[in-house]
Amino acid sequence: MVLGSYGYRYLEAPRAELLRLMSIGRDSIAEPEYFWDGMKREGDGVIFQYTLSGEGRLAVGNQTYRVAKGQAFLVTVPGRHRYYYESSAAEAWEFLWIRLSGAQVSAVWEEWLGAEGPVADFRSDSETIVKLAALYEDAAAGAFQDMWEVSVRLYDWLLTLLRRMVESPITRNAIPESFSRTAVWMETHYSQDISLDQLAEMANVTKHHYCRKFQDYYRTTPIHYLRRKRVEAAAFLLRQSCLPIGEIAGQCGFTDLGYFGKVFRQLVGTSPSNYRLSRMAEPGDNLKLL
């Protein structure tokens, strides 16, 4: 990506529901004159600035933070903060930044600062940074012409921060292959009788450790994950075949028809028979449960 910055002025006031892009850019700084005081800046909004190489400093109140490669800071404008390039640094501070405004983003920033603090680690391949880079590239290409489309893109990026806040620290990193292997096994062998002992053995850990770590990685228990995959498979067969519901239940790992109906209703919100009949009213042959 080339260096550059892009500022935006709206010819008409956006609706309150819209997020507004104020500026976005990529820069490389090696001059000690680079200094921003949050109480002396014009306008409002929030700023997210991610270090690609080198490092900078962020001072909030009486505390100063190092913002090194792979770290980002989040601040509000106006705000009691200062960020700057340290003259003694060994290399230039290269970073991506975005400044945006809107009631919703201000609420997210307030929640983030209370939960995570002003500086946080982000992997370069994380959803937040990848989508920020895509926003910058599209800005550089002149793709932003409509404030509604821009707001949709900003909401999409903002949701990556919300997801980050609700995830456990473990899920921000790659899921170990031993655990992802068991998840794939459940997705492809849901028709079989699968036990926790079998899954734990496959992951080469104890059953207690497996259950605890699986929930950390997937934000659900192994049993609920398997149940979800079985219901998704059953929903597909209900829409794509004329098989009796009892046979579909058996093919998807449910040995008791009454229990199948109970679980299906809990997850989908309707009975298997009603789901099959609603095909015309609810298009979509592949149901995914989130």
Residue-wise pLDDT tens digits, 121-171:
998 988 899 999 999 999 999 999 899 999 999 999 999 998 888 765 555
91-123 pLDDT, tens digit per residue, is 999 999 999 999 889 889 988 988 889 999 998
The pLDDT value recorded for residue 279 is 58
C-alpha 69/C-alpha 56 separation (Å) is: 9
The pLDDT value recorded for residue 10 is 87
Residue with tokens 């959803």: 127
What's the order of all strands across the beta sheet hosting 81-84? 35-37, 81-84, 55-60, 63-68
Model confidence, pTM: 0.63
The pLDDT value recorded for residue 176 is 87
| Structural contact between residues 46 and 35, judged by C-beta atoms closer than 8 angstroms | no
79: its two tokens:
């705000």
The pLDDT value recorded for residue 288 is 59
Please list the ranges in the chain whose pLDDT falls under 50.
280-283
| Domain spanning 177-278: CATH superfamily | Homeodomain-like (1.10.10.60)
Structurally, at CATH architecture level, domain 2-171 sits in Sandwich (2.60)
- Sign of the dihedral through C-alpha 218, 224, 228, 230: positive
The pLDDT value recorded for residue 281 is 43
Phi, psi of 111 (to 5 degrees): -65, -40
The pLDDT value recorded for residue 83 is 97
The pLDDT value recorded for residue 250 is 93
In the chain, residues under CATH classification 1.10.10.60 are: 177-278
